[in-house]
A and B are shown apart, each in its own frame.
Chain A
Amino acid sequence: MNESTDKPIDLRKIVAVWLVLSVIGVLAMVFGLGPHMPPGADTAQAKSQRDANIIIAAILTPITIGLFVYFGYALTTFRQRGEVIEDGPPIHGDSQLQGTWVIGTIMIVLFLAAYGTYALFATESSASGAGGGQGPELISAAPSGALEVQVVAQQWQFTFRYPQYGGFETTELVLPAGRTVVFHVTSLDVIHGFWAYQLGVKIDAVPGTDNVADVTPHKIGTFSVHCAELCGVWHGSMASTGHVVSSSRFATWIGQQQASLAPVTKLLPPYHSIYFPDPVVRAG
């Protein structure tokens, strides 16, 4: 066999198979699996994250297929069939291959960085918006009339304060559909993570810190809330279910909570962005 004439033939076969499978794979990934990718599309933020997952998967698909095609071709075509096993010819630098690899990798990384930056800063009106979550200010101002909800994390349960409604605190997270919600997330003890999965909201809960993010839930129903930072023995159980309800049901719920929680609301400290208590007396 003539190595110099076989190499382009092998390469052409590999590329042909790779191209066909990549087209099929990318289409299947984008239009088949894509709509089912997490975290869904219940909010603009969640949809933005799902789109990012689809794009990353679409980029990874041809790369993965290329690896498997080459691996499969090498296994079937270049395998030893009883001959004496000898080392292959030494391979010296292939500047074309190296250049393609380096430039391709750089382009992918730069594209993802640019896309991620766009998705982070885009506003919800452009059907994106990540909302922030890593500081006391939103990336862009929330619309007037937004509902403020403070998420108070503590080992091992989330509680929620509604400062615009007398500052009551509850273990239930209920949000009105169609109204922007601004989450203020803090912790009373260790670092937790407030992860409202279907809303596409994930914010660190850090003691002494007010991390803020906004979201507008539209779909009436439930969403799951989990702690996303390993926070102790019951971290895995630190979860609850949130509810998105109609405006009228939300108003009714607010009234019920204000009345039933009145005895303990008066004991709560005034609403503040953080509650970093004095050292516990006996804990020293």
Chain B
Amino acid sequence: MLIAGTAISIALIGWYILSWVVSFPPTVRASTSGGTASVTFQTVAAFGHQPHPDWVSYLVQNSQGKWVHSTVVQVPANSTVKITIMNYDGASGLRNPFWARPRGVVGGVEYVDGKALNVANPDEASHTFAIPDMGVSVEVPGVTDTAPNQCSTTPCQTSMAHRTITFTIRTGKPGHYRWQCFVPCAAGTQNGFGGPMQTVGWMDGYLNVT
């Protein structure tokens, strides 16, 4: 009985560790061209698939153009990285309007649907893309509630209602830099701070600078 109990306990612990390891999101390499790396994300209100179909999430496009459910991205060190975020999610507003100003980006501006902004409208914020240790923070405005053809599941198509946010950052020395969203956007969790806001692969990720 004792041996059986011990074996079951070890098996359960092993299963838990293994499931954690295999569930960690894959790393997606940035595509590079002419010395500039490029990363394209899309942000959706609901992932639409298991294990959490109703969780808000980022997805990232790999070099073959396929959308991957991950927030772990590899970019080159000491280089310029152009980041594009296609946001299909609605606006919920910034809790702290301070994050409405693009920080740590080349030129001090972000482009929203092609328009350069040195400060965005905090009430239009859907998310932020922030890398605190690199001093980067960019507001991601959302689509209006009345916009037609809204996306409800991933991957969203560019024909659907979305905002396009682009900005450029300069990477420094190699390292693992966490990135996050500052908007409490996890609908259905306490004050919007649970679930996807606390989980790498959804609204948190790593920028692996190599």
Q: Which residues does A use to contact B, with CB under 8 Å?
A: 152, 154-157, 159, 169, 171, 188-190, 232-234, 237, 261, 263-264, 267-269, 275, 277, 279-284
Question: Could you say which residues of chain B place their CB within 8 Å of the CB of A237?
Answer: 132-133, 178
Cross-interface CB contact of B93 among A169, A233, A281, cutoff 8 Å: A281
| Interface range for B | 20 to 34
Q: Which residues does B use to contact A, with CB under 8 Å?
A: 90, 92-93, 95-98, 100-101, 103, 118-119, 122, 130, 132-133, 135, 178, 180, 182, 184-189, 191-193, 197-200, 204
Question: Could you say which residues of chain A place their CB within 8 Å of the CB of B93?
Answer: 280-281
Give A62 to B204 CA distance when docked, in angstroms.
50
Question: Could you say which residues of chain A place their CB within 8 Å of the CB of B103?
Answer: 171
Question: Could you say which residues of chain A place their CB within 8 Å of the CB of B191?
Answer: 189, 279-280, 283
Tell me whether A283 and B204 are in contact (CB under 8 A). no
Tell me whether A188 and B96 are in contact (CB under 8 A). yes
Tell me whether A155 and B101 are in contact (CB under 8 A). no
Question: Could you say which residues of chain A place their CB within 8 Å of the CB of B98?
Answer: 159, 169, 264, 268
Beyond the given pairs A155-B193, A264-B100, 14 more chain A to chain B contacts, judged by CB atoms under 8 angstroms and listed by A's residue number, are A154-B182, A157-B182, A171-B135, A188-B96, A232-B198, A264-B97, A264-B98, A267-B97, A268-B97, A269-B97, A281-B92, A283-B185, A283-B186, A283-B188
Give A283 to B45 CA distance when docked, in angstroms.
12
Instruction: List 13 A-B pairs, Cβ < 8 Å.
Output: A155-B184, A171-B132, A234-B204, A237-B132, A237-B178, A263-B118, A267-B97, A267-B119, A267-B122, A282-B90, A282-B192, A283-B186, A283-B189
Give A284 to B135 CA distance when docked, in angstroms.
30
Cross-interface CB contact of A282 among B97, B130, B132, B187, cutoff 8 Å: B187
Cross-interface CB contact of A154 among B96, B101, B187, B192, cutoff 8 Å: B96
Question: Could you say which residues of chain B place their CB within 8 Å of the CB of A263?
Answer: 101, 118-119
Give A163 to B132 CA distance when docked, in angstroms.
24
Cross-interface CB contact of A280 among B101, B130, B132, B184, cutoff 8 Å: B184
Question: Could you say which residues of chain B place their CB within 8 Å of the CB of A189?
Answer: 95, 184, 191, 193
User: How distant is A123 from chain B, measured CB to nearest CB, in Å?
Assistant: 35
